[in-house]
């Protein structure tokens, strides 16, 4: 793995991309974390109520590293609510959601945002997923827009002109 990482680094390829050397590590990390969450969920009380593991389900996650196929554990009562990758979540969007919201705030259409995310992260996001992400944050944006304003907002404005001057035999830039 070390040799492959060095080879990809030297050739300028992404280490975390779809074919990157670290992509399988992300899959292993996510699956291990989900297994740990399931073990925590199935405590003594859950086991006494008859709940136990009930196989695994495969799921395709879209990440900034491309798409990865993971297996998520399930329990018999379907009461397991994973926190790392929530139910019905197909985009590992912790890092994409703020960027999508920023682009939406700048007035870009869902199609433009989708194309931009595809170009930058090699992840295809449907219009419905984009709508879901923006719909989650719109109430917070509306609350921020309608908040009461302070009576005073102090502003400090500094300006300078930069000159080239000779200092001890060297030409340096100084701000005045």
- Report whether pLDDT(162) > 90: yes
Residue 162 forms part of a structural domain: no
Whether 87 and 2 map to the same domain: the answer is yes
Q: Are residues 21 and 33 in the same domain?
A: yes
Domain that holds residue 104: 93-139
10-40 pLDDT, tens per residue?
676 665 656 666 666 667 767 877 888 888 8
- Give yes or no: residues 27 and 52 share one domain: yes
The number of domains in the chain is 2
Three-state SS at 142: helix
Residues 35 and 107 in one domain: no
Parallel/antiparallel/unpaired status of strands 162-167 and 66-75 = unpaired
67 lies in some domain:
yes
29, 45: one domain:
yes
Q: What DSSP state is assigned to residue 21?
A: T
Tell me the C-alpha to C-alpha distance, in Å, between residue 20 and each of 36, 120, 126, 176. 26, 16, 24, 50
Indicate if 64 and 98 belong to the same structural domain.
Answer: no
Predicted confidence at residue 5, as pLDDT, reads: 65
Q: Is residue 47 part of a domain?
A: yes
Residue 88 and residue 29 in one domain: yes
Inform me whether the pLDDT recorded for 94 exceeds 60.
Answer: no
Task: Let me know whether 79 and 56 are in one domain.
Answer: yes
**pLDDT attached to residue 89:** 77
Same domain, 27 and 101: no
The structure tokens listed for 116 are: 């931009």
With residue 17 as reference, give the H or E element that holds it.
Answer: none
Regarding whether 8 and 61 lie in a shared domain, the answer is: yes
- Please report whether residue 173 resides in a domain: no
23 to each of 5, 95, 154, how far by Cα in Å?
Answer: 11, 16, 48
Tell me: the pLDDT tens digits for 145-158? 788 888 887 888 88
Q: Say if 78 falls within a structural domain.
A: yes
First-to-last C-alpha distance (Å) of the chain: 54
- Rounded-to-integer distance, Cα 97 and Cα 88, Å: 16
Helix (H, G, I), strand (E, B) or coil at 93: coil
The string of DSSP letters for 83-135 reads SSS-TT--B-TTTTHHHHHHHHHTT--HHHHHHHHHHHHS----HHHHHHHHH
| One domain for residues 61 and 22 | yes
Claim to verify: residue 63 and residue 80 sit in the same structural domain: yes
**CB-neighbour burial class of residue 97 (10 A; exposed 0-12, middle 13-18, buried 19+):** middle
E-only strand ranges, 3-158: 53-63, 66-75
The predicted pLDDT at position 164 comes to 95
């Amino acid at each position: 793995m070390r040799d492959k990482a060095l080879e990809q680094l030297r050739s300028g390829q992404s280490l975390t991309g779809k074919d990157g050397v670290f992509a399988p590590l992300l899959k292993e990390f996510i699956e291990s974390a989900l297994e740990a969450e399931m073990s925590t969920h199935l405590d003594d009380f859950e086991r006494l109520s008859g709940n136990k593991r009930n196989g695994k389900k495969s799921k395709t996650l879209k990440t900034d590293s491309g798409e990865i196929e993971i297996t998520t554990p399930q329990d018999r009562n379907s009461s397991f609510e994973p926190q790392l990758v929530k139910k019905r979540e197909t985009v590992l969007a912790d890092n994409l959601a703020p960027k999508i919201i920023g682009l939406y705030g700048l007035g870009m259409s869902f199609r433009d945002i989708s194309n931009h995310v595809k170009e930058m992260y090699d992840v295809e996001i449907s219009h419905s997923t984009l709508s879901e992400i923006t719909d989650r944050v719109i109430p917070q944006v509306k609350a921020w827009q309608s908040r009461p304003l302070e009576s005073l907002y102090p502003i400090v404005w500094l300006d300078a002109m930069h000159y080239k001057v000779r200092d001890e035999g060297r030409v340096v830039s100084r701000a005045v």
